């Protein structure tokens, strides 16, 4: 990386969090209940657990307290929308309840758990991504909803729905998998009715790197909360391993990072994208740390990818703030803008700096690299 910024052995996790504390004391100025908050502040909480700096915990707490009243009612949350995106922040609510035992966090998490009980499903039993996206399974949804689904059950000693959590992961993998490449498509439409759908397979047209990044991070995360002996847990591990090995084959050979459209490296306008690359490397590193993956299959790849991710994506301002760059702002299918999932669509979305989803992905990866120092 550029020598003026430091080196890969620096404590990038703390540098990144301290940047947020100074630059974004109010994390979400739009004051909307957004999964960006849970993604990024969840990473801040992980780093707090490692560094034990109370200012990090207070940052998470103060930014979520803005949304909650004493009864756990959540500003800007509409349960009737039945959107998995709205569940993502629930993981942080559980963390805050664990730390403070303040019942408002549990009451708010209870509301999100109740939504999952009402969430519409495909005929195979997989959650729809949102009520307004009927019959559709999106890879993002596993990170947004199903990790919380398991984490809530473990925290409150429930065991009646673990099988359903496993089913969400195995069925989503099954319906999005491309057997030839080993990659998973961005989304699947069971009804074969969406304008973007392949009528034969139900798949969306392309592999989108951040969608796959959400999915592999979700698999690496959910395993912490599932009982060791539950049927299907080993299959989730195998699926994670197979998908990550396929991703290694489709990475940029020079940097060990990934392009916006995963499998079309040589196509004009495609670019190495920050958020998805950081997510995939973070999932690899966590999988190795937790013993889910064979270290010899991934160690060298992770180390090279980490160094190159700093070089490709990180800049430092005159104030010493850490910037993340080359992040796709958003990616989706259908909706009011009639996003068609074409290559042209994925190239059309803005590429920005310091997107909170991308920043969270960077922090998760930096956290894993700090963990490697502790464990070594």
Cα–Cα distance measured from residue 151 to residue 148, given in angstroms and rounded to the nearest whole number: 5
Calculate the CA 307 to chain-centre distance.
Answer: 21
User: Is residue 220 a contact partner of residue 287, using CB atoms and an 8 Å limit?
Assistant: yes
User: Is residue 298 a contact partner of residue 306, using CB atoms and an 8 Å limit?
Assistant: no
Strand bridging mode 314-316 / 322-324: antiparallel
Measuring CA to CA, which residue among 370, 361, 346 is closest to residue 309? 361
Cα–Cα distance measured from residue 323 to residue 251, given in angstroms and rounded to the nearest whole number: 23
Active site residue 140: yes
Name the token pair of 253. Answer: 């050979």
Q: Which of 86, 95, 140, 221 is catalytic?
A: 140
Site of tokens 């540098």: 15
DSSP string of 273-321? -HHHHHHHHHHHHHHHHTTSS-HHHHHHHHHHHHHHHHHHHEEE-TT--
Residues in the chain: 376
Name the token pair of 145. Answer: 């909803």
DSSP string of 233-273? HHHHHHHHHHHHHHHHHTS-TTTS--BSBTT-TTSTT--B-
Strand bridging mode 314-316 / 187-189: unpaired
Cα–Cα distance measured from residue 79 to residue 206, given in angstroms and rounded to the nearest whole number: 31
Would you name the residues annotated as active-site residues? 140
């Amino acid at each position: 990386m550029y020598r003026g910024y430091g080196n890969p052995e620096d404590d990038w996790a703390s540098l990144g969090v301290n940047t947020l504390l100074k630059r974004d004391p109010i994390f979400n100025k739009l004051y909307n209940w957004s999964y960006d908050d849970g993604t990024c502040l969840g990473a801040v909480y992980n780093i707090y657990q490692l560094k034990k700096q109370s200012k990090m915990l207070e940052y998470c707490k103060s930014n979520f307290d803005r949304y909650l009243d004493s009864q756990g009612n959540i500003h800007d949350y509409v349960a009737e929308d039945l959107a998995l995106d709205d569940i993502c922040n629930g993981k942080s609510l559980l963390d805050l309840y664990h730390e403070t035992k303040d019942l408002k966090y549990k009451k708010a998490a209870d509301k999100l758990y109740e939504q999952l009980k009402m969430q519409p499903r495909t005929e195979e039993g997989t959650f729809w991504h949102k009520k307004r996206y009927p019959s559709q399974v999106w890879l993002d949804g596993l990170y947004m909803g199903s990790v919380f689904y398991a984490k809530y059950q473990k925290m409150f000693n429930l065991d009646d729905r673990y099988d359903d959590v496993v089913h969400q992961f195995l069925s989503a993998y099954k319906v999005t998998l491309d057997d030839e490449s080993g990659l998973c498509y961005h989304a699947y439409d069971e009804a074969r009715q969406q304008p973007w759908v392949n009528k034969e397979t139900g798949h969306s047209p392309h592999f989108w790197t951040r969608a796959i990044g959400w999915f592999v991070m979700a698999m690496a995360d959910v395993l912490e909360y599932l009982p060791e002996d539950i049927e299907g847990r080993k299959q989730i591990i195998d699926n994670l391993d197979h998908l990550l090995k396929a991703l290694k084959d489709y990475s940029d050979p020079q940097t060990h990072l990934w392009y916006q459209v995963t499998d079309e490296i040589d196509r004009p306008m495609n670019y190495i994208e920050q958020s998805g690359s950081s997510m995939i490397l973070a999932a690899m590193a966590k999988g190795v740390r937790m013993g889910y993956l064979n270290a010899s299959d991934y160690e060298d790849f992770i180390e090279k990818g980490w160094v190159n991710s700093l070089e490709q994506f990180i800049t430092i301002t005159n104030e010493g703030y850490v910037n993340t760059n080359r992040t796709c702002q958003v990616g989706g299918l259908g909706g009011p803008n009639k996003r068609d999932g074409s290559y042209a669509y994925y190239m059309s979305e803005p590429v920005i700096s310091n997107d909170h989803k991308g920043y969270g992905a960077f922090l998760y990866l930096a956290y894993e690299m700090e963990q490697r120092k502790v464990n070594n």
